[in-house]
A and B are shown apart, each in its own frame.
Chain A
Amino acid sequence: MAETSVHGAIHRECSAPPLSRRDLISGLPDAMIHNIFSFLPIHDVVKTCVLSKRWRPTWTTATDLVFVGYDVYFEPPPDSPLFFPSIVDSVLSQFSSPTVKKFHLTRFMYDEADRPRIDLWLRFAVRRSVEDLRLRLSQRSRFFYVLPEFLYCFSWLVRLDVGKCCFSLDMTIWWPCLKVLSIEDAQLSDDFLGRIFRGCPVLESLVLSSCEGVNNIIIDSLCLKKLVLVSLGFGSYVKKLCAPHLLSLRVIGGNHAGFRLDDVSSLVEADLDFSVESRDPNSKGRDLLRHLLEKVRGVPTITTGGWCLQVLSLLEMDGVPSPLSKCQNLILHAPVNQWDLPGIAYMLRSSQCLEKLVIYLTCFPMVCSFAMVFSIRFLC
């Protein structure tokens, strides 16, 4: 029989559990937890409701909604709880925050029948003053989503990113707070681009990716500092760019054959990472590259690589004189095999003011995860 002692009660010290075993995350204020949620897709966010009583309602007052679809049609089927539009509807119905800072909907296989649903979702976001709106439908969708009229005049938008959507080219645009605009896979026009520039007085960065119908880009705005032109398709492409106040230009992808730079006198960095497909790769590509290098002669930071570097190698081996440039920082993406070394020499020869050379060693055509970085600093 165990002795029970009344007087010899043992006093145990009630110490707090060791620091590393306390639940610190639940002690964070809701605003911080919402910030953490902003980096998670919606199902990870909603899953937290089962962690504890403190966590149960937290996701419903978050300010960011990031929905990522499955990129396939009808899988799972419409009657399954995993059917993507049902998930979005369910989340939105439980959502109680008065504002939505970020609303992202990506990889959604769009069908014409979905149009009223997406209209409703966008209206939900717009009514909650969304600032960061991304609507990137799956590239494999059979249809383009026609953007609703109420989206063209919206004062809260700061970032807009759309892919595989249709614009009505005669609409007036008014996005007075928009700073970053990215449009992929859309039919545009020079006039519509002008409307965008007029309707977005504080636009700082524009990305046009595989957009057809744009021939001449004229940018007068003092705010627009960064332009990225991506071409992955085979349609007609930008013929001329005149942007005297632009600071940063990137030209990526294939099929820029007819591209010409007019006035880019303020450019501080230029990234020429494109290729030209033509029956005679020698002449068209060489002319374009020589024209572009001539135009970016005064630009302090130049990035190039891949196809461009190989064409430069051809120019070097033909003994074509390189235009003298004021480039101070040269960044190259190259596998540095025997085809690239003459091209690198061409660039070095023309860059008399060079102070820094960075070479990212790649396995052409893809950048490998173990790319090496050389950083060579010249001290004068």
Chain B
Amino acid sequence: MRYLALPLLSQNLTESTARAQTLSLYLQLSLQVSLSQRNESTMSSSSSSLPSCPKKVVTLKSSEGETFEIEEIAALQSKTLENMIDENCADTPIPLPNIKGKILAKVVEYCNKHAEVGVDAESLRAWDAEFVNVENTTVFDYILAANFLEIPTLLDLTCQSVADMIKGKTPAEIEKTFNIKSAFTPEEEEQVRRENQWAFE
């Protein structure tokens, strides 16, 4: 038989569990009916069969010399890599001296995830949120890597997460979050504030 996977992401379990069980029972009954009807008719092969040709792979080399493989279809998320693939320059390992191995591994993971088919938007968003739930230093490394490799979705994701750390904060709070040293004298700072007083009200 097929399996029914019911991952529950809920904070309020008691009422929801009762609903879940009722729903699951009803659905199983309906499923049995529709699936048995389907089994009677001839079925063409399912669309989830694997393609017979081998998948093309691109090799990337980090600044420390470590190599990482990425399927061509996932590599297309990077405009830089896409250009190289189009120009047939992607058959040998591509050196990326600006990107450390630790970061490159995660970037490859990001591209692989976003190239997957059949992932619903909700779970992809949750995955993305988890992906940028890391130390500031790592997020900045992601930004630089995404910029260099021209991966617009990763660039937006990482810049948005930094923007979220800035939004609504006072300058003092921003300085503390990012270890920015002001170097303005109090008089200079006062003058700068006065130029755009409205932003500080």
Residues of A within 8 A of B (CB): 19-26, 28, 31-32, 35-44, 46-53, 55-56, 81-82, 86-87, 90, 94, 336, 341, 344-345, 348-349, 351-354, 356-361, 370, 372-380
Please give, as numbers and ranges, the residues of chain A lying within 8 Å of B27 by CB-CB distance: 344, 348, 357, 376
- Within 8 Å by CB of B143, from A32, A55, A351, A378, lies A32
Please give, as numbers and ranges, the residues of chain B lying within 8 Å of A41 by CB-CB distance: 167
A38 to B27, CA, bound (A): 46
- Please determine whether A352 and B4 come into contact, CB atoms closer than 8 angstroms: no
Decide if B193 is an interface residue (CB 8 Å cutoff).
yes
Given contacts A48-B166, A50-B193, A373-B7, 14 further A-B contacts (CB under 8 A): A22-B179, A32-B144, A42-B199, A48-B174, A49-B195, A51-B174, A52-B183, A352-B34, A353-B38, A354-B34, A357-B27, A372-B9, A372-B16, A375-B123
A20 to B179, CA, bound (A): 9
Q: List 21 A-B contacts (CB under 8 A).
A: A24-B137, A25-B136, A25-B178, A26-B178, A26-B180, A40-B163, A40-B166, A43-B199, A51-B182, A52-B180, A87-B198, A94-B195, A341-B26, A344-B27, A345-B26, A352-B34, A352-B38, A360-B122, A361-B19, A373-B9, A375-B123
- Please determine whether A25 and B23 come into contact, CB atoms closer than 8 angstroms: no
Residues of B within 8 A of A (CB): 2-12, 16, 19-20, 22-23, 26-27, 30-31, 33-35, 37-38, 43, 46, 118, 120, 122-123, 135-137, 140, 143-144, 147, 155-156, 159-160, 162-164, 166-171, 174-175, 178-184, 189, 192-193, 195-201
- Please determine whether A50 and B180 come into contact, CB atoms closer than 8 angstroms: no
Please give, as numbers and ranges, the residues of chain B lying within 8 Å of A38 by CB-CB distance: 159, 163
Asked whether A372 and B171 contact (CB < 8 A) given A26-B180, A50-B193, the answer is: no
- Within 8 Å by CB of B163, from A22, A24, A39, A52, lies A39
Grouping DSSP codes into helix (H, G, I), strand (E, B) and loop, the A interface class, with mixed when no group exceeds half, is mixed
Q: Separation in Å of the A325 CB from the closest CB of chain B?
A: 12
Please give, as numbers and ranges, the residues of chain B lying within 8 Å of A21 by CB-CB distance: 179
Q: Separation in Å of the B24 CB from the closest CB of chain A?
A: 8
Most chain B CB within 10 A, of A38, A356, A370, A378, is at A378
- Within 8 Å by CB of A376, from B6, B9, B174, B198, lies B6
Please give, as numbers and ranges, the residues of chain A lying within 8 Å of B184 by CB-CB distance: 50, 52-53
Grouping DSSP codes into helix (H, G, I), strand (E, B) and loop, the B interface class, with mixed when no group exceeds half, is helix
A203 to B89, CA, bound (A): 33
A201 to B195, CA, bound (A): 45
Q: Separation in Å of the A141 CB from the closest CB of chain B?
A: 22
A200 to B196, CA, bound (A): 40
- Within 8 Å by CB of B2, from A37, A373, A380, lies A380
Please give, as numbers and ranges, the residues of chain B lying within 8 Å of A49 by CB-CB distance: 192, 195-196, 199
Most chain B CB within 10 A, of A50, A341, A379, is at A50
Please give, as numbers and ranges, the residues of chain A lying within 8 Å of B20 by CB-CB distance: 372, 374
- Please determine whether B23 and A50 come into contact, CB atoms closer than 8 angstroms: no
Q: Separation in Å of the A237 CB from the closest CB of chain B?
A: 28
A376 to B23, CA, bound (A): 12
- Please determine whether A90 and B198 come into contact, CB atoms closer than 8 angstroms: yes
- Please determine whether B162 and A348 come into contact, CB atoms closer than 8 angstroms: no
- Please determine whether A379 and B3 come into contact, CB atoms closer than 8 angstroms: yes
- Please determine whether B11 and A370 come into contact, CB atoms closer than 8 angstroms: yes
Residue of A nearest to B33 (CB): A349
- Please determine whether B136 and A336 come into contact, CB atoms closer than 8 angstroms: no
- Please determine whether A345 and B30 come into contact, CB atoms closer than 8 angstroms: yes
A374 to B120, CA, bound (A): 11
- Within 8 Å by CB of B140, from A24, A44, A55, A359, lies A24
Please give, as numbers and ranges, the residues of chain A lying within 8 Å of B180 by CB-CB distance: 23, 25-26, 51-52, 55
- Please determine whether B147 and A20 come into contact, CB atoms closer than 8 angstroms: no
Q: Separation in Å of the A3 CB from the closest CB of chain B?
A: 35
Asked whether A47 and B162 contact (CB < 8 A) given A23-B179, A24-B136, A35-B155, the answer is: no
Residue of A nearest to B3 (CB): A379
A376 to B30, CA, bound (A): 13
Q: Separation in Å of the A185 CB from the closest CB of chain B?
A: 27
Residue of A nearest to B41 (CB): A352
Q: Separation in Å of the A159 CB from the closest CB of chain B?
A: 15
Q: Separation in Å of the B40 CB from the closest CB of chain A?
A: 11
- Within 8 Å by CB of A348, from B30, B167, B199, lies B30
Q: Separation in Å of the A242 CB from the closest CB of chain B?
A: 29
Please give, as numbers and ranges, the residues of chain A lying within 8 Å of B198 by CB-CB distance: 43, 81-82, 86-87, 90
Residue of A nearest to B171 (CB): A50
Q: Separation in Å of the A181 CB from the closest CB of chain B?
A: 21
- Please determine whether A40 and B167 come into contact, CB atoms closer than 8 angstroms: yes
Residue of A nearest to B122 (CB): A373
- Within 8 Å by CB of A374, from B12, B23, B26, B193, lies B23
Q: Separation in Å of the B43 CB from the closest CB of chain A?
A: 7
- Within 8 Å by CB of A39, from B26, B33, B120, B159, lies B159
Residue of B nearest to A40 (CB): B163
